[in-house]
Amino acid sequence: MRKTVAIELVRSRRLLIGYFAGLGVVMAVFGARMPAVQSAAELSTGGLALVLLAAALGMVAGLQAGGRLARPARLPALLTGGAITLAAWLAVLGVCSSLESLFAAAFVFGVAHGVLDVAANASAVRCQDAHGRPIMGRLHASYSLGALLGAALAAATAHTSHPVLFTGVAVCAAAAAGATTALARTLASSGLKPVHHPAAQGPGERGDRSRPRVWLLGVLAAATLLGEGAAADWAAVHLHGLGATAATSAAAFGFYSAAMAAGRLVGDRLTARFGASAVVRAGAALAALGLTTGLAGSTIAFALFGWAAFGLGLSVTIPSLITAAGTGGPRAVATVAVTGYVGLLAGPALIGALATVTALPHALLLPALLAVTVATLAPKALERTTP
């Protein structure tokens, strides 16, 4: 019996690694080829912004729907269905040629993304609880590595039409999800019983602790993802302002992403040894110090170091926040994800607005200050959440 459960755990973990990596590939390909989509549909900058807004609104709707639907017995169907739907609408996006069709397709694409995100993270919390040790960092690292792979794929196929690339990636993703349908059923098996079951909580504990704590986790997720949005949209601009070449400027986000992936790969061991609170607190402090140092320096090397340190420091935060939210169930996971996504969306625009009234390096101190906030509040938000 124990051997059977152990095999189920290994299979479930590997399956989730595949799902997180595949999601990273799809989203990176989608983002990297947006200029081609804009050109093919002859969209203005405002038109492209509307398409991206539709995807964001769809994701918020999908996260909320996923939070309501995600129950252990439904997780396999949500994972498989979400992945196949996401893949299908990626292919549809490739053949859309008008603003109206792109807006509609991007919205459905976003809904599928949100549902799949909740299902994957709820499954990850369940699998981690069954393991009895942290594995969330490794799973989120697979997303980061998948995103790097997707970006590399998009770059390598730059001369291939985006409909061909979107369709090829969609076929591979849908086929992989379909082929693992039977394996996904292990996520609903009795061998993956969560440690934190609502029935085990004392009277009033769920209401007294869960709601305020979930919102605190969401605020910290927003603060963290604001930094991720800043790195994605402003790191290259920061390097360019220091006189870096186009290639070096583009490498800034690569340094950030690679450092984040590396941090997540080792983050589980650190969390198991020192606890989520201590690791997140130390990491956030490193992120704040590293980014501040990179912004204070006037050399390209300092800037690259700063963005890498920022990514490394924040690498364990989101996995730890999702783990903590998971004790409140899928709806809590969805709430934290939605709140965090607000930071991801609003952050780059807020930094841009600040940069218009001050210098960009000064505006980029905002993510560093928010990292200090994360370090300060981490002990209260993450108490007793390490498996």
- Cα angle 270, 273, 279 (rounded to 5 degrees) comes to 45
- In tens, the pLDDT along 5-50 reads 667 788 888 899 999 999 989 988 888 788 888 888 898 878 887 8
Do 28 and 113 form a contact (C-beta atoms < 8 A)? no
In the chain, which residues have pLDDT < 50? Answer: 190, 195-209
Longest dimension (CA), the chain: 65
Distances from the Cα of 356 to the Cαs of 9, 342, 347, in angstroms?
A: 51, 22, 14
Chain center to CA of 91: 22
List of residues 6+ apart from 210 with CB closer than 8 A: 327, 328, 332
Q: CA quadruple 232, 305, 268, 316: dihedral positive or negative?
A: negative
Exposed/middle/buried for residue 120 (C-beta within 10 Å: 0-12, 13-18, 19+): buried
For 126-150, b/e burial (b = at least 16 CB within 10 A) is bbbbbbeebbbbbbbbbbbbbbbbb
Reading the block at residue 329, the tokens are: 């169930």
What SS3 class is residue 47? helix
pTM for the structure as a whole: 0.79
The rounded distance, in Å, linking the Cα atoms of 26 and 72 is 25
Reading the block at residue 190, the tokens are: 């009795």
pLDDT of 171? 96
Reading the block at residue 29, the tokens are: 């390909």
Q: Following CA atoms 182, 185, 190, 191 in sequence, which dihedral angle do they give, to the nearest 10 degrees?
A: 70
The rounded distance, in Å, linking the Cα atoms of 20 and 117 is 9
The rounded distance, in Å, linking the Cα atoms of 99 and 51 is 7
DSSP letter assigned to residue 275: -
Annotate 184-214 with DSSP letters as a single string. Answer: HGGGGSGGG--SS-GGGSPTTHIIIIIHHHH
Cα–Cα nearest to 125, from 185, 193, 182: 193
Distances from the Cα of 50 to the Cαs of 57, 117, 281, in angstroms?
A: 10, 22, 37
Whose tokens are 């990850």? That residue is 124
Cα–Cα nearest to 186, from 13, 371, 383: 13
DSSP letter assigned to residue 160: S
